[in-house]
Amino acid sequence: MYKKGMLIFAVIMTLSGCGKPKDSVEGKIEKLLSQMTLQEKIGQMNQLTGLGLAEDMQNQIKSGKVGSILNETDAKTINELQRIAVKESRLGIPLIFGRDVIHGFKTIFPIPLGQAASWNPQIAENGARIAALEASSVGIRWTFAPMVDISRDPRWGRIAESCGEDPYLTSIMGAAMVKGFQGNKLSDATSIASCAKHFAGYGASESGKDYNTTWIPELQLRDVYLPSFKAAADAGAASFMCSFNDINGVPSSGNELLNQQILRKEWKFDGVLVSDWASIEQMITHGVCSNLKDAAQKALKAGVDMDMMGFAYTGNLNELVKSGAVSEKQIDASVRNILRLKFRLGLFDNPYVKESETSPFYTVDALAKAKQAAVEGSVLLKNTNNVLPISSDIKSVAVIGPLSDSPTDQLGTWIFDGDASHSVTPLAAIRSTFGNQVKIIAEKGLTYSRDNNSEGISKAVSAARQADVVLYFAGEEAILSGEAHCRADISMPGKQTELLAALKQTGKPVVTIIMAGRPLTIEKEVEMSDAVLYAFHGGTMAGPALADLLFGKAVPSGKLPVTFPRMVGQIPIYYAHKMTGRPAKDAVMMNDIPVGAGQTSLGNTSYHLDAGDKPLFPFGFGLSYSTFQYSPVKISSNEISKNESFTVECNITNTGKYEAAEVAQFYIRDLVATLARPVRELKGFQKISLKPGESKAVKFEISSNELGFWHQDNTYSAEPGEFQAWISKDSQSGDPKTFSLK
């Protein structure tokens, strides 16, 4: 048994690191830390953007003033900078090289929102793995991904980088990305450290304008915005990044509740917390710090380990320690996290990258996986008279539209390293794969998505007249989404709607394929089209994927990861909304109100006179070439006890003619609780493949704890009472089964 004195001794030993076995990572960290000067410690906390082999950079590395470099992508340069760190700096601590490898390094996968539309975590894991293989081959060992910000505002340009609106779907896809980036173990030379970002609440930026303020009550933060980060941490994410926004008035880079209380204390996260680009410094602009020194002190107190391009730490921590304003212990805590990451990555043992002779880029496997991701990440929104897939009787197709042959735009946002000359566009793919089956008449009509010049429209129309079916590739150029690329009007840009109207006039069946970085308000366009396939920005292999889908070599199986509004005024719009005291009932549309109606009641329920209460397409929606029948839901017991698991299941039958995949979605609703709860919450999903006529059972196991939510006193628990459960094809359909929690 411990005596009091022994206990104190053990605590001191542990805190000082003396208690760690010398050859354990923690032991090695402590040994190194004990040899470091304050200046060298501060150096580890400094991340600079690459300047190649510039003399100034070399000198800073030599004198131990840099811990990490981002945006260096040349293997030779990386090795040389690393050599300077390892051989010429006093302690030989290796650098870690970071880069935004978001949805591919060279081989570009669909934007994360498109990957999320696959509802297949294997797709996300594959994408991250290929990205890691390619990026690590030049010496990049840290990516600033996945972005697991819950995004309920399609005006926000960064929705493209997200997995959409739902905490559960984002958690699953984000964790899969972490797994893909980091591989089986971080020390493997092909593994790259992931970074869950942006911690936290960034997706809630007011009016969908980047960097804007957020107001998020703590229980909503914990219920909606944090679970995907927790899931990333549980999946082993090696690092986190602060967000740019202030949250309830406190910028994330100085936010002790988020970074100390939640991330470190509650979640026990021992990885690196890096600021966003100059986000420590920007606390001055936010108006919560008077100068860089103040900002450095706040960020350190909040537990931000590394300053990305902010110069707050390098310029001020020394003086702050000397003056006693911050303690060296606080600095040690951050340096430990940074050294731990470097040890975990194996950088001390293998600091250099092998400069490979054979290109690891755009391999057959990578391209095949990227294509599969684009196939599964495309969502069929409409298919009147089964115009799709294009029947073998069709003799000619017109390929029209600004996105039909735009190698750069199909890659989407956050493409630093992907080479558009490797993109296979829809036009190229249709030509090469189906060129001997149908005659292809190509006419773009508009040269780019924002093109306001209607001159090309008549040529496009005459191309359409000569064809049996029109394939119209519309949407957004890549530049219209991404960081700081937000839109207040998310309708189809330029003259694309006019072009569609002209194509429709020809009387030919029109299939509209939309390639975009966000949900667009496309009600008119959907009405005018016989079929609509929403492809997001599908990456390098978007063309072959779309060609296969259009011609029936593949069957659509994507489902929307985010609600599509009819019009901007409905935003924020998401499926997991509350019931309100007056839920919408018999919405009266503005045009149906009799003239002179005066102050007549229009029902006094919750809806917009011009938009009603429904989205254009709900979360989870997506059609197939086949059809599926869901049997009634069965629950293992109608009365669940606390701390018990139970199962919810049903049979799904493929009632159509195509072998196809279906995403069965499992939702619950807490009918009566102490706080109003969402009308539905996703708790599970399964993507299953079925042959025509085949049936399969889908079964979800859930613990009663997962029925819980956060309460005003910051505790999480499930409340006894009545619940409903659905297994359905989207967030609006299906028949619920009621059960109770005792």
CB of 103 to ligand NOJ, least distance (A): 13
Site for ligand NOJ in 639-658 (CB under 6 A): none
CB of 112 to ligand NOJ, least distance (A): 12
Our CB check for ligand NOJ shows the closer of 188 and 483 to be 483
For residue 242, with 0-12 CB atoms within 10 Å meaning exposed, 13-18 middle and 19 or more buried, which class applies?
A: buried
CB of 404 to ligand NOJ, least distance (A): 31
CB of 225 to ligand NOJ, least distance (A): 16
The CA distance from 48 to 109, in Å, is: 28
Our CB check for ligand NOJ shows the closer of 134 and 548 to be 134
Token representation of residue 530:
């016989």
Candidates 276, 294, 530, 548; catalytic one: 276
The CA distance from 572 to 253, in Å, is: 26
Token representation of residue 446:
């508009």
Whether 669 and 737 have beta carbons less than 8 Å apart is answered as no
The CA distance from 499 to 472, in Å, is: 9
CB of 689 to ligand NOJ, least distance (A): 35
Our CB check for ligand NOJ shows the closer of 517 and 543 to be 517
CB of 98 to ligand NOJ, least distance (A): 8
Residue 579 gets the label, from left (phi > 0), alpha (psi -120 to 50) or beta, of alpha
CA distances from 106 to 51, 174, 353, 619 (A): 21, 21, 17, 31
Count of positions on this chain that bind ligand NOJ (CB under 6 A): 6
Q: How many CA atoms lie within 13 A of 113 on its CB side?
A: 36
Q: Could you say whether residue 276 binds ligand NOJ (CB under 6 A)?
A: yes
CB of 49 to ligand NOJ, least distance (A): 8
CB of 642 to ligand NOJ, least distance (A): 41
Our CB check for ligand NOJ shows the closer of 180 and 558 to be 180
Count CB-CB contacts under 10 A for residue 458.
12
Our CB check for ligand NOJ shows the closer of 276 and 305 to be 276
Token representation of residue 127:
């994408």
Residue closest to ligand NOJ (Cβ): 144
CB of 70 to ligand NOJ, least distance (A): 6
Q: Is 276 a catalytic residue?
A: yes
Our CB check for ligand NOJ shows the closer of 88 and 483 to be 483
CA distances from 681 to 25, 197, 328, 511, 708 (A): 41, 23, 46, 33, 11
Q: Could you say whether residue 197 binds ligand NOJ (CB under 6 A)?
A: yes
Instruction: Specify the pairing of strand 695-703 against strand 645-654.
Output: antiparallel
What letter would DSSP give residue 508?
Answer: S
Our CB check for ligand NOJ shows the closer of 148 and 555 to be 148
CA distances from 68 to 93, 140, 294, 338 (A): 11, 11, 23, 9
Site string for ligand NOJ, 542-581 (x = CB under 6 A): ----------------------------------------
For residue 605, with 0-12 CB atoms within 10 Å meaning exposed, 13-18 middle and 19 or more buried, which class applies?
A: middle
Site for ligand NOJ in 60-119 (CB under 6 A): 100
Collapsing DSSP states into helix, strand and coil, what is residue 223?
Answer: helix
What letter would DSSP give residue 265?
Answer: I
Q: Could you say whether residue 485 binds ligand NOJ (CB under 6 A)?
A: no
CB of 261 to ligand NOJ, least distance (A): 23
The CA distance from 115 to 162, in Å, is: 9
Collapsing DSSP states into helix, strand and coil, what is residue 354?
Answer: coil
Whether 447 and 402 have beta carbons less than 8 Å apart is answered as yes
| Cβ neighbours of residue 455 closer than 8 Å, sequence gap 6 or more | none
Our CB check for ligand NOJ shows the closer of 144 and 628 to be 144
Specify the DSSP element, H or E, that contains 686: strand 681-690
Our CB check for ligand NOJ shows the closer of 100 and 476 to be 100
Our CB check for ligand NOJ shows the closer of 100 and 525 to be 100
Name which of 427, 389, 455 is nearest 657 in CA terms: 389
The alpha carbon of residue 140 and the mean position of all alpha carbons in its chain are separated, in whole angstroms, by 21
Q: Could you say whether residue 188 binds ligand NOJ (CB under 6 A)?
A: no
Count CB-CB contacts under 10 A for residue 369.
21
CB of 233 to ligand NOJ, least distance (A): 18
Options 483, 523, 613, 706; binder of ligand NOJ; rule CB under 6 A: 483
Our CB check for ligand NOJ shows the closer of 166 and 276 to be 276
Q: Could you say whether residue 277 binds ligand NOJ (CB under 6 A)?
A: yes
The CA distance from 296 to 489, in Å, is: 38
The CA distance from 452 to 418, in Å, is: 29
Q: Could you say whether residue 144 binds ligand NOJ (CB under 6 A)?
A: yes
Name which of 233, 261, 537 is nearest 403 in CA terms: 537
Q: Could you say whether residue 281 binds ligand NOJ (CB under 6 A)?
A: no
| Cβ neighbours of residue 733 closer than 8 Å, sequence gap 6 or more | none
The CA distance from 673 to 709, in Å, is: 10
Site string for ligand NOJ, 26-65 (x = CB under 6 A): ----------------------------------------
Hey, which residues are catalytic here? 276
Residues in the site for ligand NOJ, rule: CB under 6 A? 100, 144, 197, 276-277, 483
